[in-house]
Amino acid sequence: APAVTTTRHLPTDMSHDPIVIAPSLLTADLSRLGEEVAALEVAGADRIHWDVMDGVFVPNITFGPDVVASARAHCTLPFDAHLMVAEPGLLLRRWVEAGCERIVVHAEAGPHLHRSLAEIAEAGARPGIALNPATPAGAIAHVLDLVDLVLVMTVNPGFGGQRYLDTMAGKISQVAAWVRGVNHAVEIQVDGGVGADTIGHARAAGATSFVSGSALYRHEGGPAAAIAELRARCTADVLVGSDA
Ligand code: DX5
Ligand code: ZN
C-alpha cells in the first residue's frame, strides 16, 4: 500500500469508537421532509445523510441545496451531503449555506479529487471521500490527510433498497488499516443496504459509521426501534457470535 503518515496516535483497537447511525432520506416521505428529519432526531439518529444525485454521475435525481436548506430549521442534527454528482464543485458554497456540516465527494467524480476536498475545507465544511464498489481502497492513499470520513459504498449508487454487497468486507478492512496509520481521526462509514442483518458484517470489517435508508424505514417498529436494533447489532458480543 502507498505510504501514508505512519505516526500512530489512534488506538489500534477501534472497538471504542462511537457507533454513528446516519439515516438516508431516500426512502423517507419526501412530501414531509421537515417532519421526517425532526422524527429522525427524536428516533435517536446521530446525523442526517442527504443522498444528492444529479442524473449524470448516477441515473437518479434527488435533492438540491434549496431542499436541504428547507429542512435545516426542523432538526438540530448535523447534515452530511453525499454528492453523487459529476461536478461536486458546482454548488459547494450553496451546500454549506444550506446547512451541511460535511460534504462527501466521490473519488470517481472527475480528475481533481485532491482539489475538490481542499475546496470543501476552504468553504468551511468537513470533507469526506466516497468510494464506489469497484474503486480500490488505494484511491484514498494521497488524500487521507484531507478528510475525516471515508465512505465505502456497499451498493452501486443511485437508488435505495438495493442488496448489501458483502464482497466489500476486504476493502472496509483495508481502509480501516490505513486509517489506523494516520494521526487524525477518520470515520469509516458504510453506505448501501445496511440493516439489522448486514450491519454486523460491516462492523466486523472495521466500519464504525452506518448509513441506513430502506431497512430503517421498513422496520416494523419504526425508525427508533430500527436505530436501536442497528446499534445493538454492533456490540462486541453480537459480533463475536455473528458469522460476519
Ligand atoms: C445509494 C445511497 C445510499 C443508500 C441508502 O446511492 O447513497 O445512501 O442506498 O439507502 P439503503 O439503506 O436503502 O441502501
Ligand atoms: Zn448515500
With CA atoms as reference, report the closest residue to 10 among 150, 146, 185, 174: 185
Q: What is the pLDDT of residue 239?
A: 66
Euclidean distance between CA atoms 29 and 72, whole angstroms:
16
Contact of 22 with 80, CB cutoff 8 Å:
yes
pLDDT in tens for each of the 244 residues of the chain?
Answer: 444 433 333 334 555 678 999 999 999 999 999 999 999 999 999 999 999 999 999 999 999 999 999 999 999 999 999 999 999 999 999 999 999 999 999 999 989 999 999 999 999 999 999 999 999 999 999 999 999 999 999 999 999 999 999 999 999 999 999 999 999 999 999 999 999 999 999 999 999 999 999 999 999 999 999 999 999 999 866 666 554 4
For ligand 1, the distance from its centroid to the CA atom of residue 213, given in whole angstroms, is: 6
For ligand 1, the distance from its centroid to the CA atom of residue 7, given in whole angstroms, is: 34
Q: Closest ligand 1 atom, CA of 53?
A: 6
> Cell 447534515 sits at which residue?
79
* DSSP structure class, residue 137: G
Protein residue with least CA distance to atom 1, ligand 1 = 157
Q: What is the pLDDT of residue 5?
A: 39
Number of Cβ within 10 Å of residue 108's Cβ equals 16
Taking the model in full, what pTM does it have? 0.92
Q: Closest ligand 1 atom, CA of 164?
A: 14
For ligand 2, the distance from its centroid to the CA atom of residue 159, given in whole angstroms, is: 9
HEC readout, 161-207 = CCCCCHHHHHHHHHHHHHHHCCCCCCEEEEECCCCCCCHHHHHHCCC
Q: What is the pLDDT of residue 241?
A: 52
For ligand 2, the distance from its centroid to the CA atom of residue 14, given in whole angstroms, is: 23
* Residue to substitute in 27, 131, 155 for testing ligand 1 pocket (most ligand atoms within 8 angstroms of CB): 155
Give residues (CB < 6 A) around ligand 1: 24, 26-27, 49, 51, 82, 84, 155, 157-158, 160-162, 191-194, 211-215
Q: What is the pLDDT of residue 23?
A: 98
Q: What is the pLDDT of residue 235?
A: 85
* Contacts of residue 217, Cβ cutoff 8 Å, sequence gap at least 6: 27, 28, 223, 226
Protein residue with least CA distance to atom 3, ligand 1 = 192
3-class secondary-structure state, position 78: coil
CA of 25, nearest ligand number: 1
* Residues with active-site annotation: 51, 191
